[in-house]
Chains A and B, each alone.
Chain A
Amino acid sequence: MNYNELTAHEILENIKAKKCSASDVYNATYEHIDKVEDKVNAYVRVAPKEDTTSSIDETASTPIPIAIKDNICIENKETTCSSQILKGFTAPYNATVIDKLKNTGAIFVGHANMDEFAFGSSTENSSCGVTHNPWNLNHVPGGSSGGSTAAVAANEAIWAIGSDTGGSIRQPASFCGVVGLKPTYGRVSRYGLLAFASSLDQIGPITKDMTDSALLLNILAGYDPMDSTSANIDVPDYTQSLVNDVKGLKIGIPKEFFIDGIDPEVKDGVNEAIELLKKQGASFQEVSLPHTEYAVATYYIVATAEASSNLARYDGVQYGQRKMASETRKTKLVDMYEETRAQGFGEETKRRVMLGTYCLSSGYYDDYYLKGLKVRTLIKNDLDKVFEECDAIITPTSPTTAFKIGEKAKDPLSMYLSDIFTISANLSGIPAVSLPCGFSKAGLPIGLQIMAKPFDEQMLFKIGYTYEQQTPWHKKRTQLT
């Protein structure tokens, strides 16, 4: 038995039965990283084994090896958003989720690769190299939390955490055949998460199955006075929702999500999942989310506008890299800003900061940013209306399986459109999960997305867990050597 291929709930049972120790699991994970990391490049930094081993607490409640996305601060560890501009920056404090994980004994394996500042859907926009999909190394892992999902899929971590602004947990989870959950906006504290778009960002769990997702969300969720946008609402025990029962549930299928251009294998995979849940007693109805086709445009206004403001702090003054203009140019403060950001930011980051700046600039604010916020209301209203009749909504997570490395890198717009099904949940703040629902003929995973009402993550666990009881997909493991 390879411990690193197990789920956390299996590991915890084994530890309880004294069949293995937390150190055994960490050692197996670390040895596997040594073997396969050169091929996958899931991590930007792996913590030294000696330091980590000495901090393992065998008596802790969940001493599970976990990968952390490189935009979540771990005290005294370099945390860079996979960007050159933050090279050398060591976090002065722990993110709240890191403190919570630490309290349960979680073992931090390393910081996982990501698209720079979470700007991307393939993890190709990282300044730390491309991450490869563990199911087929020529394909992308998705993004922006592609390092986190690849680490779990490659058995280089048992758990991971990512952040999701427009699908950055769910789309890579779909591409890598793992479970990725975006909680309701406000469910998990973002203190210590380097901000991308503050009205959309949410931290969430990446795991091998729904049971682990519930265990990990139990640790992450809850009000935090350090994050004024975290919700002061009681957190249920999510493991209580792991029940094999969907009888009487009403689930909506939005007709706008089964568009032309969707990969037929993805469509078939999702339709089979729907049939299976019907057999278990759920009832399905076609619903309409008429503003879906405007979601991507709305998102790229709102998200880039907020990002352009959030990224203003990377100016070479308080932290990160500073670059002076070359001798032929001036050497005043503003020249230093411009040169620092020219050298420190990657191409996609520059593109998004400029797009957002444009949408907020004088003369264009009403036509772009304000208009975007209004269409956001329409998208949210569509979902509110569907949830008056339905308990949940089921869709594909992404229109395709993982695309090839380089395939969309030169066409930003086609890359943006791979998020078309995940963006609405961020714009409206609702919880959503992606779980594996099959494989394409080429052997790439297909993702099923379930969305629910705000603060009803329990519904995601109920439906997802029931689905897993009837299917083998969550038990498949990659076999990299």
Chain B
Amino acid sequence: MFTEKDVKYIASLSRIHLNEEQTAQFSKDLEKILSYVKKLEQLDVSDVKPTSHVLPLKNVYRNDEIKPSLTQEQALKFSVEQHNGSFKVPKVIE
């Protein structure tokens, strides 16, 4: 069972605030989807290698060369608040 307590925990990991009504609704939705997903339990995959990616790529490196890129000013332009050339956020600790 996927309980409302589970939903609250997952919502906090996901950094999404939910109200009580949403918590109840998502608990129903996720319970339904996860019980459908459980059909994978029918398969024995103990000897199967996982596929995280379909191309045979390992680490892709580029030469360590400086190329044109966004300036600090351009990169900061899209943020809500800046301070002394940095992103400004609400306080982290009391």
Q: Does A15 reach chain B (CB closer than 8 Å)?
A: no
**Size of interface on A: residues with Cβ below 8 Å to B:** 69
**Across the interface, do B30 and A355 meet the contact criterion of CB distance under 8 Å?**
yes
**Across the interface, do A374 and B50 meet the contact criterion of CB distance under 8 Å?**
yes
Closest B residue to A311 by CB, please name it: B14
Task: Please give the distance in Å from A467's CB to the nearest CB on chain B.
Answer: 27
Q: Which size class do B's interface residues fall under?
A: 35 or more
A332, B51: Cα distance in complex, Å: 39
With A351-B29, A413-B32 already in contact, the answer to whether A185 and B14 are too (CB < 8 A) is no
**Across the interface, do A318 and B87 meet the contact criterion of CB distance under 8 Å?**
yes
A317, B87: Cα distance in complex, Å: 7
Q: Given A225, A339, A374, A376, which contacts B17 in the complex, CB threshold below 8 Å?
A: A339
Residues of B within 8 A of A412 (CB): 29, 32-33
Closest A residue to B78 by CB, please name it: A319
Q: Does A171 reach chain B (CB closer than 8 Å)?
A: no
**Across the interface, do B55 and A185 meet the contact criterion of CB distance under 8 Å?**
yes
Task: Please give the distance in Å from A418's CB to the nearest CB on chain B.
Answer: 14
**Across the interface, do A371 and B45 meet the contact criterion of CB distance under 8 Å?**
yes
With A341-B17, A375-B40 already in contact, the answer to whether A318 and B50 are too (CB < 8 A) is no
**Across the interface, do A322 and B26 meet the contact criterion of CB distance under 8 Å?**
no
Q: In residues 283-335 of chain A, which contact B (Cβ within 8 Å)?
A: 291, 293-294, 296-298, 300-301, 308, 312, 315-322, 324-325, 331-335
- 16 A-B pairs besides A350-B26, A412-B29 with CB distance below 8 A are A231-B55, A293-B39, A300-B37, A322-B80, A332-B94, A335-B90, A336-B90, A371-B40, A373-B52, A374-B48, A374-B50, A375-B45, A377-B49, A412-B32, A412-B33, A416-B33
* A interface, CB within 8 angstroms of B: 89-90, 92-93, 185-186, 199, 225, 228-229, 231, 291, 293-294, 296-298, 300-301, 308, 312, 315-322, 324-325, 331-339, 341-342, 345, 350-351, 353-355, 357-358, 361, 368, 370-378, 380, 412-413, 416, 427-429, 454
Closest CB pairs A-B (n = 8): A429-B54, A373-B50, A319-B78, A228-B60, A374-B45, A338-B17, A342-B17, A322-B80
